[in-house]
């Protein structure tokens, strides 16, 4: 269902992509809990194929071998400990559930828990799955067995996505195995799931599996009868036979147009302008906010996989990225997810990154720990965008303004905008190549406020800019376009 089951007062999640369980537990206690994050999407915790060519790619984790909780992120006891500690810190855990398929049809080797499998024989003894548990020529209409035409819903569901052996979720045995796996996670205290490759499963089959799921566990702090949160990964840019709305009955759906369009707007391509986003969300034809998950980038499209293309904003274009994240977190649309990445050297050839496979920072394949410098940034190659002040403070902004509507929209018809959230918050962005200088209504009570983009409120002072709101609620605002972050954000909890 659609409710993330966050603890009170929290309203965003972060994808700690490829992090180890021990590091996520520490991050929940030392940063995410204290800074108002609602939850963490974790990488797939189930045993996956060990891919050695290329060497240990991030995407090996999208090739299940079994539902044993042993991967490069850690083992079952580490996973269990992480969920318990994060729940205790008020931070939920959402599992990336790979239930559409198993490994590639020609992948060999063993799994991360040592389990054997034989893809060519469609045999996964550690589950167990055998050939009759997979789609085949009786259910997939293509000769190749792969999806060939995305305008044919039967192929998209019953044939192989990039050669990944396609489970037949129409079978009770398969439905039960998948439900058993998800129920085990629920029993450990997990709050819900990001369901991978949902486009490639029939909504009714998914519902049959979801209906088998237990209520969330009360001893992990969930209210009685709480249902698991569900967000279904469906890439729907409006040009295929399958639409995200087919999945609304099961839970939320990823809204990829959100990040794709904002990438164009902030890069000012395709004649897009910032002033056009005054009705962003449903006004731009996107799904209803209460059934969507919004994000600027994800683990696929930050490296050219999935959807969004070259305009997707990532940590590599930090100035625009922070502006887009600030807008998303201040804007009253959808459930918001912040990406947290690791660095890799791109090798662009012919428009694509030959290094798009590179896995997490590692030593001989073993994922490196996340180290934290005294200034709060991360080492060992972890980007930690979620810890950037401009982003983490906007996660708090979203918490403060929850329940208010967007008011006082202002723009200069080009690339300077500002708006309020009721009488609780105010954001202004200057994406022009000249200064923003205007007197603008903030919706806020008169007083001095700390600008949470440039600093933090500490006691009764601000480590960044102090913004004065006049008696009539307006601000004489000037934002130079040459500032590191050409925007200002103030809110009720940052009043000095």
Q: Which residues are catalytic?
A: 196, 233
Distances (CA, A) of 271 to 267, 380, 431: 10, 39, 14
Give CA–CA dist 273/389, Å, rounded: 26
Q: Nearer Cβ to Ca ion, position 209 or 479?
A: 209
199 binds, among ligand QV4, Ca ion, none (CB under 5 to 8 A by kind): ligand QV4
Measured in whole angstroms, the distance separating CA 47 from the mean position of its chain's CA atoms is 22
Q: Nearer Cβ to Ca ion, position 78 or 166?
A: 166
Q: Taking the C-alpha atoms of 266, 261, 231 and 147 in order, what is their torsion angle to the nearest 10 degrees?
A: -130
Ramachandran region of residue 287, left (φ > 0), alpha (ψ -120 to 50) or beta?
Answer: beta
Kindly identify the residues of this chain, within the stretch 174-203, that bind ligand QV4 according to CB under 6 A. 196-197, 199
Give CA–CA dist 428/326, Å, rounded: 10
Shortest separation between residue 233's beta carbon and Ca ion, angstroms? 13
Q: Nearer Cβ to ligand QV4, position 273 or 305?
A: 305
Shortest separation between residue 4's beta carbon and ligand QV4, angstroms? 19
Kindly identify the residues of this chain, within the stretch 61-90, that bind ligand QV4 according to CB under 6 A. 62-63
Q: Which of 425, 456, 429 lies closest to 442 in space, CA to CA?
A: 425
Is there binding between residue 300 and ligand QV4 (CB under 6 A)? yes
330 binds, among Ca ion, ligand QV4, none (CB under 5 to 8 A by kind): none
Give CA–CA dist 167/149, Å, rounded: 19
163 binds, among ligand QV4, Ca ion, none (CB under 5 to 8 A by kind): ligand QV4
Q: Nearer Cβ to ligand QV4, position 261 or 393?
A: 261
Mark residues 105-144: x for contact with ligand QV4 by CB under 6 A, - for none. Answer: xxx-------------------------------------
Give CA–CA dist 223/226, Å, rounded: 6
Q: 3-class SS at 348?
A: strand
Q: 3-class SS at 111?
A: strand
166 binds, among Ca ion, ligand QV4, none (CB under 5 to 8 A by kind): Ca ion
Which residue in the block uniquely carries the two structure tokens 């984790």? 61
Is there binding between residue 200 and Ca ion (CB under 5 A)? yes
485 binds, among Ca ion, ligand QV4, none (CB under 5 to 8 A by kind): none
Is there binding between residue 198 and Ca ion (CB under 5 A)? no
Give CA–CA dist 451/487, Å, rounded: 9
Mark residues 148-167: x for contact with ligand QV4 by CB under 6 A, - for none. Answer: -------------xxxx---
Q: State the pairing for strand pair 164-166/192-195.
A: unpaired
Distances (CA, A) of 276 to 148, 268, 272, 280: 37, 11, 7, 8
Q: 3-class SS at 418?
A: strand
Give CA–CA dist 119/102, Å, rounded: 9
Give CA–CA dist 374/420, Å, rounded: 34
209 binds, among Ca ion, ligand QV4, none (CB under 5 to 8 A by kind): none
Give CA–CA dist 67/95, Å, rounded: 12
Q: Nearer Cβ to ligand QV4, position 106 or 363?
A: 106
Segment contacting Ca ion (CB under 5 A): 35-43, 195-203, 267-275, 411-419? 195-203
With b for 16 or more beta-carbon neighbours within 10 A and e for fewer, the 212-240 pattern comes to ebeebbeebbbeeebbbbbbbbbbbeeee
Query: To 10 degrees, what angle do helices 389-401 and 318-330 make?
Result: 10
341 binds, among Ca ion, ligand QV4, none (CB under 5 to 8 A by kind): none
Is there binding between residue 146 and ligand QV4 (CB under 6 A)? yes
59 binds, among ligand QV4, Ca ion, none (CB under 5 to 8 A by kind): ligand QV4
Kindly identify the residues of this chain, within the stretch 230-249, that bind ligand QV4 according to CB under 6 A. 233, 235
Q: Nearer Cβ to ligand QV4, position 86 or 98?
A: 98
Mark residues 451-490: x for contact with ligand QV4 by CB under 6 A, - for none. Answer: ----------------------------------------
Q: State the pairing for strand pair 335-340/292-294.
A: parallel
Near Ca ion by CB under 5 A: residue from 18, 78, 133, 166? 166
Shortest separation between residue 301's beta carbon and ligand QV4, angstroms? 9
Is there binding between residue 100 and Ca ion (CB under 5 A)? yes
Mark residues 87-106: x for contact with ligand QV4 by CB under 6 A, - for none. Answer: -----------x-----xxx
Is there binding between residue 175 and Ca ion (CB under 5 A)? no
Instruction: Give me the count of residues in the chain.
Output: 496
Shortest separation between residue 168's beta carbon and Ca ion, angstroms? 8
Binding site for ligand QV4 (CB under 6 A): 59, 62-63, 98, 104-107, 146, 161-164, 196-197, 199, 233, 235, 300, 305-306
Binding site for Ca ion (CB under 5 A): 100, 166, 200
């Amino acid at each position: 269902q659609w409710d993330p089951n966050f603890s009170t007062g929290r309203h965003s999640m972060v994808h700690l992509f490829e992090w180890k369980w021990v590091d996520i537990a520490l991050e929940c206690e030392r940063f995410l809990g204290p800074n108002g994050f609602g939850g963490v999407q974790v990488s797939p915790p189930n045993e996956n194929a060990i891919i050695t060519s290329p060497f240990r790619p991030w995407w090996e984790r999208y090739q299940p071998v079994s539902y044993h909780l042993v991967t490069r992120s850690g083992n079952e006891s580490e996973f269990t400990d992480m969920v318990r500690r994060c729940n205790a810190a008020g931070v939920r855990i959402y599992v990336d559930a790979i239930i559409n398929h198993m490994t590639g049809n020609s992948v060999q080797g063993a799994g991360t828990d040592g389990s054997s499998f034989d893809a060519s024989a469609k045999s996964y003894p550690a589950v167990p799955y055998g050939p009759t548990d997979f789609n085949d020529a009786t259910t997939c209409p293509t000769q190749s067995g792969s999806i060939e035409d995305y305008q044919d819903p039967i192929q998209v569901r019953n044939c192989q996505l990039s050669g990944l052996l396609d489970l037949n979720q129409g079978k009770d045995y398969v439905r039960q195995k998948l439900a058993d796996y998800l129920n085990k996670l629920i029993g450990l205290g997990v709050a819900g799931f990001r369901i991978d490759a949902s486009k490639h499963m029939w909504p009714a089959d998914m519902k049959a599996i979801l209906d088998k799921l237990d209520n969330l566990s009360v001893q992990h702090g969930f209210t009685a009868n709480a249902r698991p949160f569900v967000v279904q990964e469906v890439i729907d840019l409006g040009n295929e036979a399958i639409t995200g709305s087919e999945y609304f009955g099961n839970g939320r759906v990823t809204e990829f147009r959100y990040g794709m369009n904002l990438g164009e707007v902030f890069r000012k391509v395709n004649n897009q302008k910032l002033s056009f986003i005054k009705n962003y969300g449903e006004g731009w034809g996107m799904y209803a906010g209460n059934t969507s998950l919004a994000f600027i980038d994800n683990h696929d499209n930050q490296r050219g996989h999935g959807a969004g293309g070259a305009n997707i904003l990532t940590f590599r274009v930090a100035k625009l990225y922070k502006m887009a994240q600030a807008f998303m977190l201040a804007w009253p649309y959808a459930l918001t997810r912040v990406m947290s990445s690791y660095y890799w050297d791109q090798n662009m050839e012919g428009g694509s990154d030959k290094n798009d496979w590179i896995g997490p920072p590692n030593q001989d394949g073993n994922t490196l720990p996340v180290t934290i410098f005294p200034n709060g940034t991360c080492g060992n190659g972890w980007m930690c965008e979620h810890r950037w002040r401009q982003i983490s403070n906007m996660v708090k902004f979203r918490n403060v303004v929850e329940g208010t509507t967007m008011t006082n929209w202002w723009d200069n018809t080009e690339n300077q905008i500002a708006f309020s959230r009721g009488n609780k918050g105010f954001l202004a962005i200057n994406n022009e190549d000249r200064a923003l200088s205007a007197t603008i209504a903030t919706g806020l009570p008169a007083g001095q406020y700390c600008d949470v983009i440039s600093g933090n409120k500490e006691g009764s002072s601000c480590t960044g800019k102090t913004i004065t709101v006049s008696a009539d609620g307006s601000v004489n605002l000037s934002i130079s376009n040459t500032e590191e972050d050409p925007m200002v954000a103030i809110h009720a909890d940052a009043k000095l």
